[in-house]
Amino acid sequence: MSPTTGGNGPSVPILGFLTCVAFLYLSFGDLWLDYNREPELGFVTRNGTQFVLDGKPLYVNGWNSYWFMDHAVNDHSRHRVGAMLEAGSKMGLTVCRTWAFNDGGYNALQISPGRFDERVFKALDHVIAEAKTHGVRLLLSLVNNLQAYGGKTQYVNWAWQEGVGLSSSNDSFFFDPSIRRYFKNYLTVLLTRKNSITGIEYRNDPTIFAWELINEPRCLTDISGDTLQDWINEMTAFIKSIDKKHLLTVGLEGFYGPKSPKGLTVNPEKWASELGSDFVRNSESPNIDFASVHIYPDHWFHDQGFEENLKFAVKWMESHMEDGDKELKKPVLFTEFGLSNMNKDYEPSQRDRFYRTIFDVVYKSAKRKRSGAGTLVWQFLIQGMEGFNDEFGIVPWEKDSIQRLMMEQSCRLGKVSGRLFQDKKSTEICSHKP
């Protein structure tokens, strides 16, 4: 044997070295991986008036991009979903609200009752998978009170066309037994959908922050609120019978009903108490986990200037957080807010002040461990989406002041919840902060 290869001499120290390396990796490898890789998402739960994640409070700083599924259908526009989620993640945003419905019409998810377009379902699969990749959770809305993307009008038309509808009124969505069956079938298919990318059923996917039953429900044909309340109770119980892991909210604008003492003192005007909804009553439903509220004073009043609208927004938020603390004992999430650039007295700086004021109210609530659980801006887009924009839309990286406000709020809420510098993302976003 050659002296350089013969015998056991050199192999013993090499083997010892490899054993040592293996021991160190098994002992400390997870620490290295944890630093370089974001942790797996867990389910968000609630404890009283607080959202909870991994044993700590979670305060939401997020946004709306209702258009995700629609844009994920086609190859030429699919990249916009990832681009928007990446931008949100880089601002420290934790939740995005988007539509998980498109009933009838172009790129419909549900073509007709019980018939679904697999191509569009795969688009929604993509949205959820992309959100997971970027560490953002989704608040998925299940149907629209408005006609956009089908909504309750489409369900009523389907029942009418099939000769089983009780009424041509849009509000028959809430009381027609045939339409209730249509909607329950849709819920069953959606909740038990197995994601074609991740292999996870929607009901078992922690990327989904929560379900929203309906966007801005109103039932004008029964201002007592009984019809809408019965529907909420029935549908939320049905959802929870299939999915007990996810949080559930109604999707309310936040108006008080005719029997509420706040109907006259807090509602913007008399009409707001005659919409068939009631914030406290609807949110008290036993299967509702948190309350939802929208903030649009410039749409609700037609004779107020910016300063008056700003004062109303604070009063509106404080009132609903008071309800969350004292009546509901549940978190209150402000799931839409915005300031229109079509207002007569609009100036770009007003939007910054409006956002700042709303963020400050939530931050103060978080510091006091009150029910104000967070906010979702309406709405964020990326360049080249003029057809999906409205008077509230923002491309965040084109507005440095808005981007800074969003990042600052993420860091403030992270500090209050004890999450600041607990992961790579918050460290990168907030380490430059004083």
Which amino acids are annotated catalytic?
216, 336
Contacts of 353 (CB under 8 A, 6+ apart): 310
Residue 330 CA to residue 48 CA, distance in Å, equals 6
Residue 395 CA to residue 251 CA, distance in Å, equals 25
Is-contact 202 128, C-beta < 8 A?
yes
- Residue 243 to residues 121, 202, 239, 246: CA-CA distances in angstroms? 19, 9, 6, 7
Residue 284 CA to residue 399 CA, distance in Å, equals 39
Is-contact 279 252, C-beta < 8 A?
yes
Supply 133's token pair. Answer: 């990749």
Q: Apex CA 189: angle with CA 184 and CA 193, to 5°?
A: 150
3-state secondary structure of 292: strand
Residue with tokens 């609009």: 346
Q: Tell me, rounded to whole angstroms, the distance of Cα 154 from its chain centroid.
A: 24
* DSSP state letter for 271: G
> Of 111, 101, 97, which Cα lies nearest the Cα of 187?
101
By CB neighbour count within 10 A (0-12 exposed, 13-18 middle, 19+ buried), where does 112 fall?
Answer: middle
Residue 328 CA to residue 331 CA, distance in Å, equals 8
Is-contact 51 373, C-beta < 8 A?
yes
Is-contact 207 41, C-beta < 8 A?
yes
Beta-bridge partner residues of 294: 336
